Amino acid sequence: MSGESSTESFEIGRRVHSLNDLRRVGTVKYVGGVEGYSGAWIGVDWDNDGDGKHDGTFNGVFYFNGRSQTSASFVRSEKLSRGITLIQALELRYQTTSTKDEEDEMYVLSAKNKRVSIQLLGGDKIQDKLSRLEELTSASLPFLGVGSLGVSSDLGSVLPNLKLLDLTGNLISDWEEIGALCEHLPALTTLNLSYNSMSSEVTSLPQLKNIRVLVLNNTGLSWTQVEKLRPSLPALEELHLMGNMISSITSTSCSDDKAFNSLRLLNLEDNCISEWSEVLKLSKLPCLENLYLNKNKLSRIFNDNESPKKVSDPFPSLRCLLLGANNIGDLASIDALNVFPKLVDIRLSDNPITDLARDGVPRYVLVARLTKVQVLNGSEVRAREKKESEIRYVRMVMSKFSNKLEEIELLHPRFNELKKLHGLDDEMASAENTRPKNIASGLISITLKCVGPSMGEKPPLTDKLPSSITVKKLKSLCENLFKLRSIKLRLFLHEEGSPFPTPIDDETSRLLDAGIYDGCTLLVDEES
């Protein structure tokens, strides 16, 4: 076959992979000659930066636009593959028996570091069942070079029970072919097309009434294309769109369109959304329970022109909101989350607001300010932690703001509610009447009790300390006061009525921010 004829099947736009590397995938951008070199060449723009050698301009001659400086290269056609069909991939994955060399590689090391061959119990039966494609309920075919789904009328009889199909990292791009596949596999409910460069042209899609879960991570889709998919997915419950550089949510479909009305989980992690006003465009999805927004660029929950009170019934079903690794740094954004009527699971880790080194706040402040939180940053908030956090928070506000009631109401909207809930009104009055000078001068009274087993019997000490010093500085003072220089200390807040003391572990936190209040008792223990 001549070089010219061998390039005919590599039309521009075709997805290909390197013949020797199934994970080196790209798109054909040029077919023809290259100045200074004989024969025909395929110009490929690879998906991964660094897989190429230039940007489509070679030796000063422009051939095509590459994505980056090192994403493009010229390759001979015999070094590329257009991929295999879905059925071929299934046969390769599930009907190919293990070779003698592969079986020899199944071993464990003995006590004398010798190889001992192992045999999987029931392995033959498992392999026999998997090899019968008609019995498959799930198929995982990642990075196998599937370039054509080869949809035919008998596909349903070959895979009548297939419910889950993972096609991650293949060569698929045509939505019409995807639509035909779903039509011929009536049992299919979950489809993963991640790391396939899907076409921006979403046309001729039938009603995919059985698809419940659709995974489109790193497929290059914008929300505009997602909108075009909506009418074809009336029963969709989970939609994953990670890593697609989505920055805006375009206008949703007309109100009488019931598409996405069944959506319960929307994953928009690792995108480029920076304005909360874009997120609010999703707030009317009636069944949305889980919204994942980790690794975006959000800095505030509500921008300057919005107020939580202006949003009527936002996210009526939302229970889980993941906001980790954004740029949120203000407490007003935390308070704004209380507007959502069912929100109980919240992630805020890796934001400035949780980073104490960047003037963030400790966990107990977040727990106290979030009215309904049951899970924070992946950790369950039990009733005891909720109560103790709210009490610590109220006492911290009392010590910090004293009788500045207007400022308290402005900056701490839950303060009065929590003070009344936990019966701390009398404590507030006592703090105002008996210790005005200490608080005004920034001093708080703290009782220190040594409880470490190797510390010996030492009488408690009560001292007035600046509320602005750090926990680390307080530990240093304890070392001097109790002569404990050879012992690594740990501090605990002891409160009346609480069965267990609360650890004070963040050494960079100021005393007030750590919940250490005027008149409290700290237990000085040692690291175990």
pLDDT at residue number 423: 87
The pTM is what? 0.81
Burial of 248 from C-beta contacts in 10 A (0-12 / 13-18 / 19+): middle
Q: What's the pLDDT at 106?
A: 52
Provide the H-helix boundaries in 33-150.
Answer: 86-94, 100-104, 123-131
Q: Which structure tokens are listed for 261?
A: 């009305």
Pairing of strands 520-526, 489-494: antiparallel
pLDDT for res 372: 96
Length of the chain as a residue count: 528
The pLDDT value given to residue 33: 95
Phi, psi angle pair for 281, to nearest 5°: -65, -15
Question: Residue 96 class from Cβ within 10 Å (0-12 exposed, 13-18 middle, 19+ buried)?
Answer: exposed
Q: What is the pLDDT of residue 495?
A: 74
Give the count of beta carbons closer than 10 Å to the beta carbon of residue 365: 23
pLDDT in tens, the chain (528 residues): 334 446 678 999 999 999 999 999 999 999 999 999 999 999 999 999 999 999 999 999 999 999 999 999 999 999 999 999 999 999 999 877 655 554 455 556 666 556 665 554 544 444 454 458 889 999 999 999 999 888 777 788 889 999 999 999 999 999 999 999 999 999 999 999 999 999 888 876 888 999 999 999 999 999 999 999 999 999 999 999 999 999 999 865 444 456 699 999 999 999 999 999 999 999 989 999 999 999 999 999 985 455 555 556 789 999 999 999 999 999 999 999 999 999 999 999 999 999 877 888 889 999 999 999 999 999 999 998 899 899 989 988 887 776 678 888 888 999 999 999 888 876 655 555 444 444 445 788 999 999 998 888 899 999 999 988 999 999 999 999 998 888 899 999 887 666 678 888 888 888 877 878 788 899 999 987
| Separation of alpha carbons 190 and 167, rounded Å | 11
What distance in Å separates the CA atoms of residue 72 and residue 28, rounded to the nearest whole number?
10
Torsion, Cα of 466, 470, 473, 475 (10° steps): 100
How far apart are alpha carbons 496 and 18 in whole angstroms?
Answer: 69
pLDDT value of residue 153: 72
Are 163 and 135 spatial neighbours (Cβ–Cβ below 8 Å)? no
Nearest to 427 by CA among 452, 406, 397: 397
Q: Which residues contact 437 (CB under 8 A, 6 or more apart)?
A: none
Residue owning tokens 């969709």: 236
Report the candidate in 183, 268, 289, 262 with the shortest Cα–Cα distance to residue 221: 268
What is the pLDDT, as a whole number, of residue 1?
A: 37
pLDDT of residue 430: 54
Q: Is 476 helix (H, G, I), strand (E, B) or coil?
A: helix
What per-residue confidence (pLDDT) applies to 407?
84
C-alpha to C-alpha distance for 319 and 284, rounded to whole angstroms: 14
The pLDDT of residue 437: 44
Question: Distance between CA atoms of 30 and 224, rounded to whole angstroms?
Answer: 28
Each residue of 498-512: b (16+ CB within 10 Å) or e? eeebbebebeebbbb
Q: Which three-class secondary structure string do you get for 210-273?
A: CCCEEECCCCCCCHHHHHHHHHHCCCCCEEECCCCCCCCCCCCCCCCCCCCCCCCEEECCCCCC
Residue 428 gets the label, from left (phi > 0), alpha (psi -120 to 50) or beta, of alpha
